[in-house]
């Protein structure tokens, strides 16, 4: 290496160090001035990570709308987490729930909980619809992913730059629809018996293009539409490539490092209605997917509370679209089952 080359390298090194120093100073300046305001404005999720410490809670319940939705006819409008709290005197349960949340969001909340905390047990809601491409590419992902940027362990200025350059899901509706359909096609179905459809896309198209259910019963177009929603939401088979499984894996490892007991609360779906509309094939897939979760996570020390059949059709108060929104009786059944497993 010539003396001239050494001089050039030294000069470039000084410029790089100067640039790095400027960026560090700008990050510090941003962190102490505008960052608190931006985080409050763009990241409402961060406040959930502070609740366990502020409220001195030993049990935290992470959920989505299933936790706090209630029927207009309910006299008891308590959330599932509040019912659990009332069933466990001597413990304090914190509610960390927000609409459309899933395992990826729960992981970000959990890892941002301060190191010094009173948490002993973590209850994570597992909504089986969240594993389907319909939810993975949901339009509701856009605002959630924007918030996730601010929950990263990264320099404050870098996170603000990611937000400015839209480094999150911001598909157009046509792009999103294409991603969902491609997801349906990739979720191939391998049943242990003859089944005429190779994926959710084929199954959805076959039922949606007629006015008959799987058993030949003629029904209205509204009923067909609801049946197709169930197919699109649940016609998949879980494996370790599913992004939600990868999120659950990260939650397991995080809780092991933190020394937290972990419970996966598998939500109830309207199995009564699903059996009538979509038939035994979809029911078989759904049962198999819950068994996959049990066999994958219980050997790792996770309690998997299987509520799949816990809530009956009469306790679902929304009838036109698949949801996990229960009336007071349904919420109480789920809460009671979780408490039973907790007491074990």
pLDDT in tens, 1-41: 676 767 667 777 777 787 777 878 887 887 888 888 888 88
Q: Which residue in 99, 144, 133, 322 sits closest to 242, CA to CA?
A: 133
Give Cα 139 to chain centroid, integer Å: 14
Query: Do the beta carbons of residue 103 and residue 251 sit within 8 Å?
Result: yes
Give Cα 117 to chain centroid, integer Å: 23
pLDDT at 1: 60
- Give Cβ neighbours of residue 133 (< 8 Å, ≥ 6 apart): 179, 180, 182, 183, 184, 186, 187, 236
pLDDT at 337: 98
d(CA 246, CA 128): 14
Three-state DSSP class for residue 54: helix
pLDDT at 187: 87
Would you call 168 exposed, middle or buried from its count of C-beta atoms within 10 A (0-12, 13-18, 19+)? middle
d(CA 306, CA 300): 16
d(CA 188, CA 200): 7
The length of the chain, given as a count of residues: 344
264 DSSP β-pair partners:
124, 304
pTM across the whole model: 0.93
Q: Which residue in 109, 87, 111 sits closest to 98, CA to CA?
A: 109
The residue-averaged pLDDT of 286-308 equals: 98
Mean pLDDT of the chain: 94
The residue-averaged pLDDT of 76-87 equals: 98
d(CA 148, CA 294): 28
């Amino acid at each position: 290496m010539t003396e001239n080359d050494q001089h050039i390298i030294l000069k470039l090194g000084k410029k790089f160090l100067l640039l790095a120093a400027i960026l560090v100073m700008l990050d510090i300046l941003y962190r102490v001035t505008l960052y608190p305001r931006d985080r409050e404005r763009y990241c409402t999720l961060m406040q959930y990570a502070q609740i366990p410490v502020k409220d001195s809670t030993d049990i935290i319940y992470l959920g989505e709308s299933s936790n706090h939705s209630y029927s207009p006819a309910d006299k008891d409008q308590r959330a599932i987490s509040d019912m659990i709290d009332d069933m466990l005197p001597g413990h304090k349960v914190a509610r960390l729930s927000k609409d459309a949340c899933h395992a990826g969001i729960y992981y970000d909340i959990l890892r941002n909980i301060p190191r010094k905390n009173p948490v002993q047990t973590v209850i994570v809601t597992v909504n089986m619809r969240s594993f389907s491409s319909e939810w993975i590419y949901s339009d509701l992902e856009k605002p959630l992913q924007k918030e996730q940027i601010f929950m990263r362990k990264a320099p404050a200025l870098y996170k603000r730059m990611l937000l400015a350059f839209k480094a999150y899901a911001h598909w157009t509706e046509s792009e999103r629809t294409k991603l969902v359909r491609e997801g349906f096609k990739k979720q191939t179905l391998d049943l242990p018996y003859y089944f005429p459809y190779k994926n959710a896309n084929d199954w959805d198209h076959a039922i949606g293009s007629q006015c008959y259910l799987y058993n030949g019963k003629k029904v209205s177009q509204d009923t067909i539409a609801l049946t197709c929603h169930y197919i699109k939401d649940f016609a998949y088979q879980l494996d370790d490539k599913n992004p939600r499984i990868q999120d659950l894996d990260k939650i397991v490892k995080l809780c092991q490092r933190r020394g937290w007991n972990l419970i996966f609360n598998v939500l109830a779906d309207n199995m009564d209605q699903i059996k009538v509309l979509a038939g035994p094939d979809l029911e078989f897939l759904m049962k198999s997917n819950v068994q996959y979760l049990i066999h994958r996570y219980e050997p790792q020390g996770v309690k998997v509370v299987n509520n799949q059949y816990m809530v009956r059709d009469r306790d679902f108060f929304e009838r036109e679209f698949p949801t996990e929104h229960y009336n007071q009786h349904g919420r109480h059944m789920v809460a009671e089952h979780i408490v039973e497993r907790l007491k074990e």
